[in-house]
Structure 1
Amino acid sequence: MRATARRRWGGFLGTAALVAVLVLTGCSSRDEATNASSAADTAAVGGAADRGSGGKDGAAPKAAEPGAEVPSDLRVDQRSIVYTGSMTVRVKEVERAAAEAVTIATGAGGFVGGDQRTSDTGDAQASLTLRVPADRFNSVVDALAKLGRQERREIKTEDVTEETLDLQARISTQQARVESGRRLLAQAKSLTDLVLLEGELAKREADLVALQARQRRLADLTALSTITVRLVGPETVVMEEEEEEPSGFLDGLRGGWEALLGTLRVVLIVVGALLPWLTVVGVPALVVIWLVRRNRRRRTPVGPFADQPAPVVPAPRNEPPADIPADSTN
């Protein structure tokens, strides 16, 4: 019994020690990976800056020290920027202009992400979603504007440089944690340790896959810009979207007044729907009620003594017979 208990306690202590080693190894690997990724990012940024400026005396760029912070004042060509644009162009022939827009996008190395068209007479229009390389964004927008008469253009940019660098550092850290988990899994000697390490490794791999998916999505947005172009015919009426104004007292007053008018409108609709029924059913009901009340009034006696109560007749007394004296005794 003592030997069995010792073996159980020994297995428990071994599992606890293995978990502690796993946690410490993951933390140290994460710190090392973070420092290494920060140093690599700093070195890459510094090398790109030196190559862009030509350096001094042709000297090679120096690597950044480990743990150094990434500079935030990067040049425009070194930053990760997401470009999105939307425009409305009035053309003579919508189908022909749509075909030319597709040709412009594919010729710039992009593709069509969405295509919606209506060919009604007098109201023909097309809405195209184009994905083009970021370095050809401005040239493609200018080419699309020349398809007809440009009526609206809106371009938005979003700087995601810091998010990109942070995501890259987190991926490096997570990769180091996955590698350390795999090494410890290969050294597992008991079934309990194997199950525990497999669960931890699966969790780390899932986190790594999620980070890599975010990185691919971000890289796609920065590499390919999105342009939404709306082509309308010469007689098509374009409904412009109203810009949202900040809410305030006047907006609240306007909303309350509109709600009151809406309530009154509903009440009038209900009254209008019930009015025919009230006319058909209510009028005969009122006539019947009037006739019933009239008959009741006729049955009630009318005169000077109608309101006087009936005379009260006194009850008879129990008197003895006349031939027997009242005070006689046997």
Structure 2
Amino acid sequence: MHQRKGGLPISYYKRLFIYLFAASLLLLTACSSDEEKSAIPMSYPSQGGGMEMATSKSLQQTPKPNKKVDLSKATPQDRKITYTASLKMKVQDYRSTKAKMESLVTKAQGYLVNSNEHKSEDQFEGNLTFRVPQNEFKSVLNELQSLGKESPEIDINGQDITEEMVDLEARLKAKKATETRLLALLNQANDSRATLEISQQLDEVQGSIEELQGRINYLNHRVDYSELNIQLTQPFSSSKDPDQSPLFQRVITAFFDSIDTLIFAGKNILVFLARLLPVIVILLVVGYCVFWFARWRKKRKV
């Protein structure tokens, strides 16, 4: 047996090296096994056992439709189109024309959306917004044109919203599928943490469903009811200009204007005196006191 001088045999060092190498291999294997176990995603435990719940990321994902709708194959009846017409009309009597328009629209099962009026020195102008059923749109538009004293300016626009409607309905369907899946998970959850997380995500999904459904309802209403924007103008006759009126009428107008001016001035004088009344009362009291004091001194001297 080989032996170093003053030391242990060489074979002893060889066995020690082998043991250290084997221990290192075992330690590396154990570490790699722990890392693999820690990389496994955690699932929510349940008291019944056996149910694993999806992580928050997977719950928030909304399934997307696999098929893309081919709009080129859609028939004219399937397409969703909104119509808007703008009319500019000159009329002889604004009030009468507006009343006739409201009657026509009401008869066609339509309604008034907005109305505003403005009066200037040379004309009376109003803007009206109606909505009528789409199947009555053309007939109502033709009847409204006949109410003007001359041919009106007309602008008709149509907007195809079929693609937007299909997209909204697909998104709504996907959100409802997510809602159904979350409700099923919520019914099976027995862990408070999982219940809270799923409830929060369910609230978000249901909020999105309400928004999508509201937008779809609005667009369907815009398709069913076409919009009419009407600008009515009643020009004032030039004969109503005071400078071109007959002389007698101008004299009468000036006389009544003078009376109005005097009445206005009298009202202002009364208001001025009413404001001065407290001061006048104080001056009268002070004057009376001074007069009484002077009279008293005069009597005393005598």
TM-score, structure 1 normalization: 0.53
Asked if 1 retains the 8 angstrom alpha-carbon contact of 2:86 and 2:154, the reply is yes
Give the residue type in structure 1 aligned to 2:81: I
Give the residue type in structure 1 aligned to 2:83: Y
Point out where structure 2 has 5 or more consecutive residues left out of the alignment. Answer: 1-37, 46-51, 238-302
**Partner residue, 2:184:** 183
d(CA) in 2 for partners of 1:143, 1:211 = 37
Report deviation, 1:119.
5.3
**Partner residue, 1:94:** 94
Q: Does 1:78 align with 2:78?
A: yes
Question: Aligned pair in 2 of structure 1 residues 118, 192: CA closer, same or farther (>3 Å)?
Answer: same
Report deviation, 1:115.
1.3
Asked if 2 retains the 8 angstrom alpha-carbon contact of 1:167 and 1:211, the reply is yes
Asked if 1 retains the 8 angstrom alpha-carbon contact of 2:71 and 2:163, the reply is no
Question: Aligned pair in 2 of structure 1 residues 25, 151: CA closer, same or farther (>3 Å)?
Answer: closer
**Partner residue, 2:162:** 161
Aligned residues: 192
**Partner residue, 2:195:** 194
Give the residue type in structure 1 aligned to 2:43: G
Q: Does 1:107 align with 2:107?
A: yes
> Which one is further off, 116-125 or 181-190?
116-125
Report deviation, 1:190.
1.0
Report deviation, 1:180.
0.8
**Partner residue, 2:42:** 13
Question: Aligned pair in 2 of structure 1 residues 154, 183: CA closer, same or farther (>3 Å)?
Answer: same
Give the residue type in structure 2 aligned to 1:19: A
Report deviation, 1:220.
1.6
Q: Deviations over 1:41-61 (max 9, x none)?
A: xxxxxxxxxxxxxxxxxxxxx
Report deviation, 1:122.
4.4
Q: Deviations over 1:250-278 (max 9, x none)?
A: xxxxxxxxxxxxxxxxxxxxxxxxxxxxx
TM-score, structure 2 normalization: 0.57
Question: Aligned pair in 2 of structure 1 residues 25, 120: CA closer, same or farther (>3 Å)?
Answer: closer
**Partner residue, 1:218:** 219
Report deviation, 1:77.
2.8
Report deviation, 1:26.
6.3
d(CA) in 2 for partners of 1:122, 1:69 = 56
> Which one is further off, 16-25 or 69-78?
16-25
Report deviation, 1:135.
1.7
Alignment of 1:50-61 (within 5 A): none
The list of structure 1 runs, each at least 4 consecutive aligned residues, that deviate by more than 4 angstroms after superposition, is 24-27, 119-122
**Partner residue, 2:135:** 135
d(CA) in 1 for partners of 2:230, 2:103 = 14
Give the residue type in structure 2 aligned to 1:13: M
Secondary structure, counterpart of 1:23 in structure 2: helix
Point out where structure 1 has 5 or more consecutive residues left out of the alignment. Answer: 1-8, 36-66, 237-330
Report deviation, 1:71.
4.0
Secondary structure, counterpart of 1:77 in structure 2: coil
Report deviation, 1:216.
1.2
Matched-pair identity in %? 24
Asked if 1 retains the 8 angstrom alpha-carbon contact of 2:175 and 2:208, the reply is yes
Report deviation, 1:206.
1.1
